Amino acid sequence: MTPLIEQLKSFTGTAIITSSGEKISFSSLISSAENLREEIKALSQLESPSDANLNVQGLGLSAIKTSPQRLVDDGRQEWELPYSSVSDFVIILFALEGFTEQFSISSDRFYFSPVSVKENKGLVESRWFLYTSGTTGIPKKIAHNTESLCAAIRPSETATYHCWGLTYKPNKFAGLQVLLQSLLNGDCLVDCTTGSLDEKVALMITSKVGAISATPSWWRQLIMAQNSDTLPLSRITLGGEIADQQLLDVLSSQFTSAKIFHIYASTEAGVGFAVSDKKAGFPLAWIKDGVNKTQLKIKDNLLWIKPNSDNVQLNSPMKTIEADDLGYINTQDVVSIEGERVYFKGRINGAINVGGHKVFPETVENVLLTSPLVAQARVYGKENKILGSIVVADIVLKAKPESLKHKDIQLALLLHCKAHLGRKDMPTKINVVDELALSDTGKLARQ
C-alpha cells in the first residue's frame, strides 16, 4: 500500500483548521513529517541516543522530544513522541507510518522502537497499536496495519470539497477514521475536540463544516446548542453507541439535506458496516448474506463479526481478541431480532444485575429518550444489599417546564417507563441534572 505521506502529496490547500482557527496546509504537514523522519533517522544512528532529543524547531510541532523511558516485552527500549494538538498528531503519524515497523498511540504520545528505524532500508508495512475505549472495562491494546485502518476509507462520491468536524480524540479508532477519511480525500479537518460546545459550534459554522462523525450522546448535546441548526451539514455519521430511532428522526428533520449513517465499528474488528436507511438497528438479511464483504452471525444473543481484514491474525499472538475458528470476533454486544430487523440492546459486561435479572442501561435510556421531556439520559446500577443492584437514571430535560415540579417530572417519567418496560427493568429513582458528562471518546461516562 502506498505510504500515507505519499498519498497526501497530490493535495493542495488547507488540511487542518485548529481549534483556534489557524489554517495548516497540506504542504506544511508533509514538509514537517519528512523533516521529522530525517531527525529520527539521524538519532537512530547514534551509538547512545538515550540522552538525545530531536531537533524539531521549524517542524511545526509544539514541543516534541524523545525519551526512552519504557521497555517493551522483549526488552527493547521505545522512544516516545508527545503531541499536544491534532496537527502534532498528524505530523508524527505520517512520519512514522511506512517508516517504522511498529508504533503505539496513547492519549498524549506515540511510542516507537529506534531499532526498526535504524535497520530500515526502505518502505515498511507498519503495525499500529491502538487502545480500546475501556467504556465498561480495562482498555485493551489492539494491533492494526495501514490496510485494515484504511479499509473503510472511501473516495469522495463527488468532486465536492468537504470540511470534516473532528469530535473524537485522534488517537481513538473513530478519530483516526475521520482523520484519514478527510485527509486522504484532500478535504479539510476542523479540530472540534477542545472548547465548550458553543465554541465548537461557532468554529464549525465559521469553517463551514459539512460533515460530522460523532457519538449519539454528542449529537444529543449538539442539537440543544444555540445556532446548531444553521450548520450546513451534508453528511451525518453516528457511531460508538446505539443510535436510537428518536435521535435519527430528530437529525433527519433538523438537517433535511444531510445523508445520515450510523456505523457499527470497534477497535478490535475495525469498521463492520454502515446503516443508511435512517432506521435503528440493521436488516436481518445481513446475518445471512453479509454486508460489504463483512460476515455476521448471532450466537447466544451476541453479535459475532468476521471483518474483511487481518485483525484476527494480527492480534492472535497477544490473544486480545476473542475469535472462533472461522475468524468471527465476539463483539460482546447483545442483540435481539424483531421482525426483519436486528436491534442492539447493550454490552454484555455493562448489564446491571438486579436480583439475577440483567438490565441493559441502553435499553432503559432509549425508553426515557422517547419521552418529550427528556433530552439526555444515563442509566446505571447502584449497590443494594437485597437485590445486588438497583436501576437509577439521571436525565437532562429538553426545557424546564414552568408548571411542573421535579417530583411531578419524576412521576411522569416513571409512568412512561412502566408503559414500555418490564417491572425488573424499571428505574427505582430518576434524578434531574443539568448536564451529563461525556468521556474522551464522546460516549456517556459510565464509570
Domain boundary among 302, 324, 347: 347
Segments in the chain below pLDDT 50: 57-64, 68-69, 71
Kindly state whether residues 46 and 177 are assigned to the same domain: no
Q: Supply the pLDDT for residue 63.
A: 43
**Total domains in the fold of the chain:** 3
CA nearest to 222, candidates 369, 15, 376: 376
User: In degrees to the nearest 10, what's the CA dihedral of 73, 78, 81, 86?
Assistant: -30
Kindly state whether residues 385 and 331 are assigned to the same domain: no
> CB 55: neighbour CB atoms within 10 A?
14
Q: Supply the pLDDT for residue 318.
A: 56
Kindly state whether residues 186 and 120 are assigned to the same domain: no
Residue 225 is assigned to a structural domain of this protein: yes
CATH number, residue 423? 3.30.300.30
Helix or strand or coil: residue 365? helix
Residue 380 is assigned to a structural domain of this protein: yes
Residue 154 is assigned to a structural domain of this protein: no
Q: Whats the size of the chain, residue-wise?
A: 447
Kindly state whether residues 316 and 185 are assigned to the same domain: yes
Alpha-carbon gap, residue 443 to 221, rounded angstroms: 11
Kindly state whether residues 332 and 199 are assigned to the same domain: yes
Do 9 and 30 form a contact (C-beta atoms < 8 A)? yes
CATH number, residue 322? 3.40.50.12780
Alpha-carbon gap, residue 373 to 203, rounded angstroms: 29
Instruction: List the beta bridge partners of residue 339.
Output: none
- Domain of residue 25, residue span: 4-125
Residue 421 is assigned to a structural domain of this protein: yes
Kindly state whether residues 113 and 194 are assigned to the same domain: no
Residue 309 is assigned to a structural domain of this protein: yes
Alpha-carbon gap, residue 197 to 435, rounded angstroms: 12
Query: CA Rg, the chain, in Å?
Result: 23
Kindly state whether residues 180 and 99 are assigned to the same domain: no
Q: Supply the pLDDT for residue 60.
A: 45
Domain boundary among 347, 371, 398: 347
Q: Supply the pLDDT for residue 25.
A: 97
> CB 47: neighbour CB atoms within 10 A?
4
Residue 389 is assigned to a structural domain of this protein: yes
Residue 305 is assigned to a structural domain of this protein: yes
Residue 198 vs residues 80, 192, 215: alpha-carbon distances, Å: 34, 11, 17
Kindly state whether residues 96 and 223 are assigned to the same domain: no
Kindly state whether residues 113 and 185 are assigned to the same domain: no
Residue 36 is assigned to a structural domain of this protein: yes
Q: What's the pLDDT tens digit per position in 200-216?
A: 999 999 999 999 999 99
Kindly state whether residues 219 and 257 are assigned to the same domain: yes
Kindly state whether residues 338 and 369 are assigned to the same domain: no
Kindly state whether residues 316 and 357 are assigned to the same domain: no
Q: Which residue matches cell numbers 521529522?
A: 36
Record the cell numbers describing residue 34, joined without a space: 519528512
Q: What are phi and psi of 186, to 5 degrees?
A: 75, 20
The answer to whether the pTM exceeds 0.85 is yes
Residues 6+ apart with CB under 8 A from 47: none
Domain boundary among 347, 377, 401: 347
